[in-house]
A and B are shown apart, each in its own frame.
Chain A
Amino acid sequence: MASKPVTRIPGRAFRPRPGHQTYTARRARVGYLFVLPAVIMLALVSVYPLLYNAWLSLHHDVLTDPLATHFSGLANYHLLLTDSEFWGDFLRTLIFTVISVAIELVLGMVLALVVSRKFRARSLVRASILIPWAIPTAVSAMLWKMFFDQRTGFVDFFLGLLHLPGSHEVWFNSPFWAWLPIILSDMWKNTPFVALLLLAGLQGIPHELYESARIDGANAWQIFWRVTVPLMKPTILVALIFRTLSALLIFDTIFVMTGGGPGISTEVVSYYNWYQFMTSLNFGYGAAISVGITIIAMALAFLYVRLMRQGGGFQV
């Protein structure tokens, strides 16, 4: 906000008096006072734990044996680099992220294109896609887990109606098929969010561009790829970054649906990290994994900030 030359306006409140601060200085002081509580609170609940994590990761610290706690240098990081279970989890998490984010972006785009049109049931559609977004991830996972159950679900029932094979034994006991309910739950919950972000971008495209493309004889397909997609690139990238981040950090769905099983075939990095903390009680090693995950998340954050800066400034 550019402050106007208010001091020139005659008035009791604004005349600088000896020993008193000027109006602008007073407003600035109030400003710092207002910002401070939020900044301190955020630092306390998030920056402090991060630093504590970094410190913990340099120690051998297992809660079941508190007397053995000692400084261990980079031993935990050495373990992390050579831990084949962690790297297996990392690979699984990456594959899950690529598949689920790709599906969600494509479906989200379809949803956004549908909802951006004007039709009678439009607000019903908008409300009905918003509900999955608002449901807790854990509840979404419970819903989809039940749907893949023979007694409480509809998946096997529908497959039966279509004379296709399928059974509960297969879904959650198979290292491969156990991923299907996980991806479906993630997709059901998160596609609406992608659609809403993309919708905002879609509505920002000037109508004249579509008009002139149509006059030039472009068909709908060409207009989509030559006009819509290029103009929506910043929005698509933002949606991509947000979804990639939360897909890489997937925890609730895995915890509720499979607990990483069968075996460790659906175990992901967040789950492994949580397991090291809360089940193995190995806080030193758990902290090292957390530091690794945090570094990846921060890389995505910087990518996001760079994008915001390129696209017309760091707008709020």
Chain B
Amino acid sequence: MSRGRAGRIGFAILVGVIIVYSLLPFLWILRSSLESSAGLSQQTSTFWPIGITLTHYRALFTEENFLRPLINSIVVAGMTTVIAVVLGSLAAYALSRLPIKGRMAVLGFVLLVSFFPQIGMVGPLFLVFRHLGWLDTYQSLIFPYLILSLPITTWILTAFFAQIPIEIEEASMVDGASIAQTIGRIFVPLALPGIFTAAILGFLLSWNDLLFALSFIHNPSMFTVPLALVNFRSAFYIHYGQIDAGVVVASIPIALVVLFLQRRIEAGLTAGGVKG
């Protein structure tokens, strides 16, 4: 009895430690982003911020024009996700239910690409983009980001599509519907949740990249969110408050997405073992 109780208390403490460990960094950065510059420029001595202010957030959008990288990141990650989901869905439909030869070869190839090291693409892609005049453009990020998102969306979607029973579609075909009609009216509505999951994961992977953006983007007006945040540091004077505010602004959408779509993300991550 007493042992069970001690165990339960120990378990509760462990749970508490895990929650604090995961969330403390956010609470701390939120604290720092609200602290006055005077408080930030002296050694940390209290839990509570010294002088609460929103000036860092205002400066973030006026002095640093942080809206620009936010828009850039949304455009680039959004476009990448659309392309990856369309190409990935088509491939996954064929791989999960059409009688094609070389199914294993295609799946193996997709898996292999997801193991390709990102750094191995940087040099050649830089030379190609320089030749095409693509440096500092959206397409110089959208195409490389397909390396990150297309294999994973294809892989997840194939796993999801394989779980959708094929009998309904066969019945529709027997009734004389064409392949296009069957896909549009029967399959897509059933597959939508899986497609949505793949889209979230693909979007996050593109949103989170630093290496490609760092290599192909040098014009500040084309910076993505991670690149803009990293470049706050290279300024002559480090505006800690603005970095903190920037990190908070960049993290809140992601935290909200995760909180609301937790089940979907977990399902996607574990579908067939996906590299993250």
Q: Which residues of A contact B (CB under 8 A)?
A: 1, 3-4, 6, 9, 11-14, 24, 26-28, 30-35, 37-39, 41-42, 44-50, 52-53, 56, 110-111, 114, 117, 119, 121, 123-139, 142-144, 146-147, 150-154, 156-157, 188, 192-193, 196-197, 199-200, 238, 242, 245-246, 249, 251-252, 255-256, 270, 273-274, 277-278, 283, 286-287, 290-291, 293-294, 297-298, 300-301, 304-305, 308, 314-316
* With A28-B98, A154-B28, A256-B230 as contacts: A274 and B211 at CB distance below 8 Å: yes
Chain A to chain B contacts (Cβ below 8 Å), 6 pairs: A27-B179, A28-B99, A34-B93, A157-B43, A252-B226, A277-B215
* With A4-B170, A131-B255 as contacts: A126 and B262 at CB distance below 8 Å: yes
Assembly CA distance A242 to B274 (angstroms): 9
Q: Is B136 close to A, CB under 8 A?
A: no
Closest chain A CB from B123 CB (angstroms): 5
| Chain B 84-107 interface 0/1 with A at a Cβ cutoff of 8 Å (1 = within) | 000110110111111111001011
* With A121-B19, A151-B44 as contacts: A196 and B159 at CB distance below 8 Å: no
B28, B177, B209, B210 — most chain A CB neighbours (10 Å): B210
Summarize B's interface: helix, strand, loop or mixed.
helix
| Closest Cβ neighbor of B201 among chain A residues | A134
Assembly CA distance A200 to B274 (angstroms): 12
Choice from A32, A50, A119, A135 contacting B100 with Cβ under 8 Å: A32
Choice from B119, B215, B243 contacting A293 with Cβ under 8 Å: B119
Q: Is B204 close to A, CB under 8 A?
A: yes
Q: Which residues of B contact A (CB under 8 A)?
A: 11, 14-15, 18-19, 21-26, 28-29, 32, 40-45, 83, 87-88, 90-91, 93-101, 104, 106-113, 115-128, 143-144, 146-147, 150-151, 154-155, 158-159, 162, 166, 170, 173-174, 176-177, 179, 204, 207-211, 214-215, 225-226, 229-230, 240, 243-244, 247, 250-251, 254-255, 257-259, 262, 265-266, 269-270, 272-273, 275-276
Assembly CA distance A221 to B29 (angstroms): 39
Closest chain A CB from B134 CB (angstroms): 13
Q: Is the CB of B23 within 8 A of A128?
A: yes
* With A39-B106, A193-B276, A293-B120 as contacts: A28 and B100 at CB distance below 8 Å: yes
Q: Is the CB of B98 within 8 A of A34?
A: yes
Assembly CA distance A270 to B120 (angstroms): 9
Closest chain A CB from B128 CB (angstroms): 7
* With A142-B230, A143-B29 as contacts: A294 and B210 at CB distance below 8 Å: no
Assembly CA distance A229 to B99 (angstroms): 39
Closest chain A CB from B165 CB (angstroms): 11
Assembly CA distance A274 to B117 (angstroms): 12
Assembly CA distance A204 to B148 (angstroms): 29
Residues of B within 8 A of A249 (CB): 117-119
Assembly CA distance A129 to B243 (angstroms): 24
Q: Is the CB of A1 within 8 A of B99?
A: yes
Assembly CA distance A136 to B276 (angstroms): 12
Assembly CA distance A249 to B275 (angstroms): 14
Known pairs A114-B11, A131-B23, A316-B155 / 5 extra A-B pairs, C-beta < 8 Å: A26-B179, A42-B113, A151-B240, A192-B22, A298-B115
* With A151-B40, A277-B215 as contacts: A131 and B254 at CB distance below 8 Å: yes
Assembly CA distance A170 to B25 (angstroms): 21
Q: Is the CB of B230 within 8 A of A11?
A: no
* With A125-B19, A144-B25 as contacts: A152 and B262 at CB distance below 8 Å: no
Q: Is the CB of B215 within 8 A of A301?
A: no
Q: Is the CB of A24 within 8 A of B99?
A: yes
Choice from B22, B90, B110 contacting A42 with Cβ under 8 Å: B110
Assembly CA distance A42 to B22 (angstroms): 35
Q: Is the CB of B254 within 8 A of A135?
A: yes
Q: Is the CB of B229 within 8 A of A142?
A: yes
B28, B124, B166, B259 — most chain A CB neighbours (10 Å): B124
Residues of A within 8 A of B98 (CB): 1, 27-28, 30-31, 34
Q: Is the CB of B210 within 8 A of A300?
A: no
Choice from B22, B144, B179, B244 contacting A132 with Cβ under 8 Å: B22
Q: Is the CB of A188 within 8 A of B25?
A: yes
Closest chain B CB from A220 CB (angstroms): 9
Closest chain B CB from A180 CB (angstroms): 15
* With A52-B128, A301-B112 as contacts: A135 and B272 at CB distance below 8 Å: no
